[in-house]
Chains A and B, each alone.
Chain A
Amino acid sequence: MRLSGLEDVWREEAPRVLAALLRRSGDLGACEDAVQEALLAAAEQWPRDGVPDNPRGWLVRVASRRMIDRLRSENARVERELRDHSLTPGAAVAPGADEAAGNGRDDTLHLLLLCCHPALTPPSQVALTLRAVAGLSTAQVAAGFLVPETTMAQRISRAKATLERAGARFDAVPARELPARLHAVRHALYLMFNEGHYGGTDLGDTDLTREAVRLTERLHRALPDDDETTGLLALVLLTRARAAARLSPTGDLVPLAEQDRARWDRLAIRRGTTLVERVLPRGPVGPFQLQAAIAAVHAGAATWEETDWLQICALYRMLERQAPSPTVTLNLAIASGMAHGPRAGLQRLQPLLDDPAQRRNHRVLAAAAHLRELAGDVSGAVEAYRAAASLTQSLPEQRYLNTRLARLT
């Protein structure tokens, strides 16, 4: 069997196998190690003997055995912990093939809730989710973040240790905690998506946007009536639909206003738009649904100029009320500039320009430069382009801003 086929089976089954083990022992670290060892065994045996009829049952059986072996060989400290957790090695024996992995829906949800536990920082939540839920190897996760494997391995093992110290368990989250915990999961998935989409896609070996979309799809399948999750799925689909158009053949960044919209992924746009339209009328409308709605309005416009800017302004104003942030104010200023002229946009932007905390924010300065250029204030635009270009850490953005600057000087 080809290795890529093996990987597909593995990626599909790994989280379920992990969940099956976790249901018997709360120790994510030990379960994860056992699942990895089962994969190694599969990588050796399946190409030789063929893929078993029930790959999940096979993996659960092998992983359970590895866990028992390990438990038996470990010291008295672990024995004590086992008693505390009322886990005996016998209890970790694999279930029959017919009950191999339980309910797949709960597996994904509970695994995501565990990996996005509030004791972890968001970057650690993302790393652990990629490892334990998406089934990526540590090397693949490391490639996604352009760091060495040893650095990522440390980050992941620290995250597991933090979960253990926090007493995080793989079981039902109390109903009153669920909204906040789900919020953390969605936030981590969004962070994962952004890291891939905005992070320089041609460098890493790992497509983080694909993983984020896959995981969000799974979360959506587990919680079809959670409208913010639907909103997040729509948002990532609509944003990724633009991926092919956002970089020029030479790798330069193409702003939304100048993108070749024929290269947008129409299928993804249709799906994302349908999802937004389904949840918006239901209310209450959360931040991800609003951002998805904004992305859908952009996706529905034939050109930048023909965009329904009044509607985009209205959506940003709703977003500003719900989840105020400098980024939302900034985007509202840009949309106002398009809807009501550059002076209106600059007026909206002024509080950010006056805010000492935002003075080194290159995006605020870039927006000011653009609006001043539209308003005919060339010297003001030059000053802001120069400041924005020097402050950004994005190479393509810096190249773009320097090009705009050169055009005016």
Chain B
Amino acid sequence: MKFVILIHSNPQPWGHPTGDFNAELQAQSPEVRAQMNAEFEALLSELSERGELVTAEALGDPATSTIYRWDGGPITSDGPYAESKEHFAGYFLIDVADRSRAEEIARQFASPGDTVELRPVMWPGGEDV
């Protein structure tokens, strides 16, 4: 089953990994930060080794985005899309045995200053009964 793990964050300045640039994580002690980094690296290797990681992308600064809206025709403006505190910063697409495994993985993406969202991916098949 495929799931996407969406990272919402507000690094200042914008950068990846987002934790290196957001105040909440930087407020932690160097030991805690080092441990969190090591744990995250281990998680990524584990996903890759188990054949669960499908793809991942880090997104550019929301200020570099272009917004298209419809008002009788396409209206173009510069980003960011929303004035919210957090922005969509990147995503990981995983393919796992079941939802509980996806939840176990997503929980480990939680990090001070980030909001992590787990969403199932729709699939093209279905049952005819």
B-binding residues in A (CB < 8 A): 121-123, 145, 147-148, 151-156, 158, 198-203, 242, 246, 253-256, 259, 331, 334, 363, 392-398, 400
Contact = CB atoms under 8 A, between A and B. Distances in A.
A398 B124 CA distance: 10
Interface residues of B, number: 21
Interface string B49-67: 1111111000000000000
A128 to B, nearest CB: 11
B122 interface: yes
Given A145-B95, A158-B49, A394 B126 contact: yes
A255 B128 contact: yes
B122 A154 contact: no
A255 B97 contact: no
Contacts of A123: 97
B77 interface: no
Contact of B126 (A145, A147, A198): A198
20 contacts: A121-B97, A145-B95, A151-B53, A152-B51, A154-B50, A156-B51, A200-B125, A242-B128, A253-B126, A253-B127, A253-B128, A255-B128, A256-B128, A331-B129, A393-B1, A393-B120, A393-B123, A394-B122, A395-B124, A396-B125
A200 B123 contact: yes
Contacts, number: 75
B51 A200 contact: no
Contacts of A201: 125
Contacts of A155: 50-51
A202 B129 contact: no
A393 B3 CA distance: 10
A203 B121 contact: no
A42 B113 CA distance: 57
B48 interface: yes
A158 B128 contact: no
Given A147-B95, A152-B51, A155-B51, A395 B129 contact: no
A155 B1 CA distance: 14
Contacts of A394: 122-123, 125-127
Contacts of B121: 393
Of the candidates A198, A202, A393, A397, the one having the most CB atoms from chain B within 10 angstroms of its own CB is A393
Contacts of B50: 154-155, 158
